[in-house]
C-alpha cells in the first residue's frame, strides 16, 4: 500500500532540489554569511539589506559550488532589501507566488544557503495582514508572519510554498523576535526602483519631531487632539528653508493630519520627494501655513 507520508516527504525534497539553483550564499559581513535569491538570469540577486554590511569585496556562493564576486547595486534600509549583481548570464531566477494565494495555515519553508549546501526549516503561515509601514518608513504591501525557525544566515532567503514558489524574502531585522517575509510586490517595486535609480528616493523635511497634545482651545481647528512638535530643524534642510522653527507643532501636510510619527512617514513617500507641499503649523497659539519643497533622502 502506498505510504502517503513518504510520498509527501519525497515531494517536498524534490521541490527543494528544484528551488536550490535560485538560492545563493551572500558573504557581505564579517560573521556568518547569509542568503540571497536569484532575481534575474542576468545576475541580479536580491537579499536582506541588514546582512550587507560592506559595500565592496562581496562574494556570492552559487548552487554549482562556485564563489563569484558581486557588486552592490543599491539598497533600501526602510524595507530591508538590497540588490547585488554578479557577472553571470545563466542563473535560475526563482518563481514568485501571488501573495493573495497565501492563507493562514499554509505549509511554508524558509530556505537558505548560509554555507555551501541548502538548508531549510518548515512551518506554517501564522498571520496575514494588509499593508503596513516599518519603523524606518518603508511601505510593505502585505504582512506575512510565519512560525518557521529563522536560524543564523537564513535572512535574505526565500519563503517557499508547498508548490515550490517563493512567497517572500525572509528577514529577521524588521520586527525583533518575529519571523517575517517581505511580499513579492514589495520586492518587485524596490528592485525595479533600485535598478533604475540605484536607491529608493524618499521624501524628507529635515526635522526631529515628537507627538504632543494640542491645547484644548485649538483642537477643533487643528482637527484632532495631538500633533508633532518640532524638536529640531536640520540646518540647510527643506523645513529650515520653509521657515519652520523649533517649537512649532505640525498638524497636517497638504491637509492630511499628522498625529504621530508614523503618519508623517506615511506621507513622505518617494512620490513626495521634490514636490511642493503645505505644512500647517501651530506657532504661539496661532495657525500658520508654510509652503515647502520636500527633500529627497
- Intrachain domains 99-189 and 203-296 with the same fold: no
Annotated catalytic residue 155: yes
99-189 placed in CATH 2.40.10.10: yes
Exactly one of 35, 44, 50, 263 is catalytic; which is it?
Answer: 50
pLDDT for position 273: 83
Long-range contacts of 239-245 (CB under 8 A, 24+ apart): 239/205, 239/206, 239/207, 239/279, 239/292, 240/206, 241/292, 241/293, 242/279, 242/290, 242/291, 242/292, 242/293, 243/290, 244/205, 244/207, 244/279, 244/281, 244/290, 244/292, 245/283
Which one from 63, 155, 172, 252 is the annotated catalytic residue?
A: 155
What is the predicted pLDDT for the residue at 25?
A: 98
Q: What pLDDT was estimated at residue 1?
A: 46
Using DSSP, how many helices (H) and how many strands (E) does the chain show? 5, 22
In the residue annotation, 7 being an active-site residue is answered as no
Just give the CATH number of 4-86. Answer: 2.40.10.10
In this prediction, residue 138 carries a pLDDT of 82
Q: Note down pLDDT in tens along the chain; length 297 residues.
A: 468 889 889 999 999 999 999 999 999 998 899 999 999 999 999 999 999 999 999 999 999 999 999 999 999 988 999 999 999 999 999 999 988 899 999 999 999 999 999 999 999 999 999 998 887 778 899 999 999 999 999 999 999 999 999 999 999 998 887 889 999 999 999 999 999 888 777 888 999 999 999 999 999 999 999 999 999 999 999 999 999 999 999 999 999 999 988 888 878 877 788 899 999 999 999 999 999 999 987
The pLDDT of residue 2 is 64
Q: Where are the domains of the chain?
A: 4-86, 99-189, 203-296
Give the CATH superfamily of 203-296: PDZ domain (2.30.42.10)
- Taking the C-alpha atoms of residue 130 and residue 143, their distance in angstroms, rounded to an integer, is 6
Confirm if 120 and 111 have CB atoms less than 8 A apart: yes
Q: Assess whether 284 carries a catalytic annotation.
A: no
Q: What are phi and psi of 43, to 5 degrees?
A: 110, 5
Amino acid at each position: 500500500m502506498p505510504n502517503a507520508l513518504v510520498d509527501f516527504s519525497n515531494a517536498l525534497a524534490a521541490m527543494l532540489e528544484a528551488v536550490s539553483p535560485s538560492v545563493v550564499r551572500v558573504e557581505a559581513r564579517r560573521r556568518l554569511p547569509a542568503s540571497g535569491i536569484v532575481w534575474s538570469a542576468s545576475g541580479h540577486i536580491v537579499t536582506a539589506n541588514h546582512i550587507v554590511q560592506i559595500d565592496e569585496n562581496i562574494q556570492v556562493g552559487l548552487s554549482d559550488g562556485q564563489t563569484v564576486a558581486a557588486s552592490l547595486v543599491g539598497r533600501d534600509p526602510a524595507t530591508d532589501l538590497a540588490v547585488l549583481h554578479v557577472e553571470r548570464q545563466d542563473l535560475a531566477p526563482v518563481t514568485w507566488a501571488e501573495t493573495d494565494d497565501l492563507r493562514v495555515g499554509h505549509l511554508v519553508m524558509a530556505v537558505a544557503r548560509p554555507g555551501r549546501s541548502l538548508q531549510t526549516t518548515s512551518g506554517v503561515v501564522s498571520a496575514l495582514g494588509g499593508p503596513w509601514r516599518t519603523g524606518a518608513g518603508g511601505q510593505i504591501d502585505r504582512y506575512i508572519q510565519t512560525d518557521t525557525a529563522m536560524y543564523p544566515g537564513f535572512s535574505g532567503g526565500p519563503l517557499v510554498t508547498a508548490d515550490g514558489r517563493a512567497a517572500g524574502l525572509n528577514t529577521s531585522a524588521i520586527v525583533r523576535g518575529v519571523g517575517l517575509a517581505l511580499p513579492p510586490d514589495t520586492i518587485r517595486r524596490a528592485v525595479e526602483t533600485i535598478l533604475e535609480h540605484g536607491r529608493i528616493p524618499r521624501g524628507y523635511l529635515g526635522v526631529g519631531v515628537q507627538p504632543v497634545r494640542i491645547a484644548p482651545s485649538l483642537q477643533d481647528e487643528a482637527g484632532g487632539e495631538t500633533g508633532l512638535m518640532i524638536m529640531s530643524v536640520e540646518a540647510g534642510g527643506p523645513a529650515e528653508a520653509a521657515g519652520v522653527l523649533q517649537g512649532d507643532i505640525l498638524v497636517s501636510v497638504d491637509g492630511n493630519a499628522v498625529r504621530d510619527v508614523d503618519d508623517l512617514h506615511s506621507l513622505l513617500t518617494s512620490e513626495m520627494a521634490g514636490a511642493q507641499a503645505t505644512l500647517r503649523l501651530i506657532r504661539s497659539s496661532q495657525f500658520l501655513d508654510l509652503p515647502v519643497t520636500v527633500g529627497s533622502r
